[in-house]
């Protein structure tokens, strides 16, 4: 089991009564699974993703990531665990504007002390089809190209778990579909556990499981191609078991692609 939560909750102070963002989330996710977290805006999806990655601290409950209790660690310890075991793909790409595509992919590897950082970054940029664009800066790349750089960066460190937060949210439908095809292809090659947040029903359906949130609680779990089962909004604990381009600004030297 690569990721597990017990009684996970998040509240924030709001006047006399706390605002409940997440309540009693119980998940068990095995290595190699692909899991989509779905639900309407404000249901707690991104908050749950942040807690699973140790980017935020819960009000109650616990998360175990790769066998380690996340919140028994301080922030430095959680950051070290993320550097070793986690990759991220964000809606807005999160590339450093002053670094080239190659440098953006290589930077986390260099910070981790890998002597082959540039070679490995070049290899992964090749896998996402951007060898010819490796010397370009983010502003010189289309949205689809920037997200492909982000995919290369996420996979280059050999993460155990890849977290993706609305990875197609800033892309048009055609480019988003191409990026998602690439995401699932790379994930299958790497054997990574994939946990993603999405409003896209087509994208969610490609995952082995879907967990639906409503008002901060789990209200259903659906297998790929299967029926939904009741979540802990019905006071049941759920264990998850495994299954398994937007055009942008281009430089004058090379045409931008998706």
pLDDT at 126 over 60: yes
Q: Which pLDDT belongs to residue 80?
A: 93
Using pLDDT thresholds of 50, 70 and 90, give the confidence band for residue 242: very low
Q: Which pLDDT belongs to residue 229?
A: 59
Kindly list the domain boundaries of the chain, sorted by start residue.
Answer: 3-234
Is 3-234 a domain of CATH 3.40.50.300? Answer: yes
Q: Which pLDDT belongs to residue 127?
A: 95
Q: Which pLDDT belongs to residue 16?
A: 81
Q: Which pLDDT belongs to residue 60?
A: 96
Inter-CA distances, 114 with 87, 106, 108, 131, 145, Å: 16, 9, 9, 21, 25
Mean pLDDT of 82-91: 94
Using pLDDT thresholds of 50, 70 and 90, give the confidence band for residue 18: confident
| pLDDT tens by residue, 148-174 | 999 999 999 999 999 999 999 999 999
Mean pLDDT of 126-154: 97
């Amino acid at each position: 089991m690569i990721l597990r939560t017990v009684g996970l909750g998040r509240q924030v102070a709001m006047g006399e009564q706390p605002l409940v963002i997440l309540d009693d989330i119980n998940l068990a996710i095995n290595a190699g699974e692909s899991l989509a977290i779905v639900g309407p805006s404000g249901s707690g999806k991104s908050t749950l993703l942040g807690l699973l990655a140790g980017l935020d601290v819960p009000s109650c409950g616990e998360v175990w990531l790769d066998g380690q209790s996340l919140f028994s660690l301080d922030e430095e310890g959680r950051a070290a665990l993320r550097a070793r075991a986690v990759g991220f793909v964000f809606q807005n790409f999160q590339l450093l504007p002053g670094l080239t595509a190659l440098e953006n992919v290589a930077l986390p590897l260099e910070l981790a002390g890998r002597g082959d950082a540039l070679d490995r970054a070049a290899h992964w940029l090749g896998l996402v089809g951007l060898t010819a664009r490796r010397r370009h800066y983010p502003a010189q790349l289309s949205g689809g190209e920037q997200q492909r750089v982000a995919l290369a960066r996420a996979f280059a460190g050999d993460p155990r778990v890849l977290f993706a937060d609305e990875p197609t949210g800033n892309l048009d439908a055609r480019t988003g579909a191409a990026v998602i095809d690439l995401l699932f292809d790379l994930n299958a090659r790497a054997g990574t556990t994939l946990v993603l947040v999405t409003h896209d029903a087509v994208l969610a359906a490609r995952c082995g499981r879907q967990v639906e949130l409503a008002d901060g609680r789990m209200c259903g779990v659906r297998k790929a191609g299967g029926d939904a089962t009741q979540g802990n909004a019905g006071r049941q604990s759920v264990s998850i078991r495994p299954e398994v381009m937007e055009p942008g600004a281009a430089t004058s030297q090379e045409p931008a692609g998706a």
